[in-house]
Structure 1
Amino acid sequence: MAMERARRFVDALTRLEETGELDALLALFGEDSQVSNVVSHRTFHGKDGARDFWAEYKGMLRQVKSTFRNMIESGDRVALEWESNGTAHNGAAVSYEGVSIIEWEGECISRFYAYFDSRVLGLELSRGSAPRSEAPATVPA
């Protein structure tokens, strides 16, 4: 079935974002998996590492919802183009976009890596001052 792996990941991530429930997402990761992103200073290993990574993701924002523009699946590789919107713990609006690459071995994810503009996200989380968080300017008539 085309896009089956991409859909499994997206459905599990949606469950995490909506309910905080990690189990469906963690069930996708293999014992030797690697999980990271552009802002992490380390690679998280195995199911325990995946648990730590996704708990940090969910804990970073008070509320978050990801939407997916493109899902590409070819063989054992999935590429997801996404935008995540939410609210930081300081009340600031957060909106950032990126791409996640997922590598599969059989039925398990062996590697997950997310690419996004960490500067924009950092400004939004700390001060709510990134351009995407600011109210749109009004244009004089």
Structure 2
Amino acid sequence: MAMERAQRFVDALAKLEEGGELEPLVSLFSDDAQVSNAASQRMFSGREGARQFWKEYKGTLARVKSTFRNMIESADRVALEWETQGTAHNGSAVSYEGVSILEWDGDRIRRFFAYFDPGLLGREMAYGTAQRSEPPATTPA
């Protein structure tokens, strides 16, 4: 299967975003993995670092859902173009997009880095300025 590793990551991320299941995603990372993104000041190392990174990711938003436009897999590299929508803990709608690069060592991820505009995400979380986000859910009267 040409896209097997890309799909394994996407499926594990969906389990985290939808149900809070952290371990399916963490189990994809190697013991010496390097994990980070454009908003982070640090590189998270190893499987424990991956666990902390993804726990913080999930904790950043009250609700989160990623969709993938493009998944490109070649040799030991995967590129994922995505859009993430959600709701910040203050109720602000969030919608941001970017690209994640995954480097694999066999069946484990040795490096993960996500590229996106952290300033845009911060403004959306603080001020609710997302243009593509769905309106907050309302309850029937």
Give 4+ residue runs of structure 1 displaced > 2 Å after superposition. 129-135
Aligned to 1:128: 128
- Write out per-residue CA displacement over residues 7-32 of structure 1, whole angstroms, 9 at most, x where no aligned residue: 00000000000000101001100000
C-alpha root-mean-square deviation of aligned residues, in Å? 1.4
Which whole-Å CA distance do the structure 1 matches of 2:72 and 2:100 have between them?
11
- Tell me whether 1:43 sits opposite 2:43 in the alignment: yes
- Whether the 8 Å CA contact 1:92–1:133 is kept in 2: the answer is no
Q: How does 1:41-120 map to 2 (within 5 A)?
A: 41-120=41-120
- Tell me whether 1:34 sits opposite 2:34 in the alignment: yes
Number of residues of Structure 1 aligned to a counterpart in Structure 2: 135
Quote the sequence identity (%).
68
- Whether the 8 Å CA contact 2:95–2:131 is kept in 1: the answer is no
Instruction: Give the structure-2-normalised TM-score.
Output: 0.92
Which whole-Å CA distance do the structure 2 matches of 1:75 and 1:104 have between them?
9
Segments of 5+ residues of structure 1 without an aligned counterpart are 136-141
SS in 1 for 2:25: helix
**CA displacement at 1:126 relative to structure 2:** 1.3
Segments of 5+ residues of structure 2 without an aligned counterpart are 136-141
**CA displacement at 1:134 relative to structure 2:** 10
Instruction: Give the structure-1-normalised TM-score.
Output: 0.92
Which whole-Å CA distance do the structure 1 matches of 2:7 and 2:85 have between them?
20
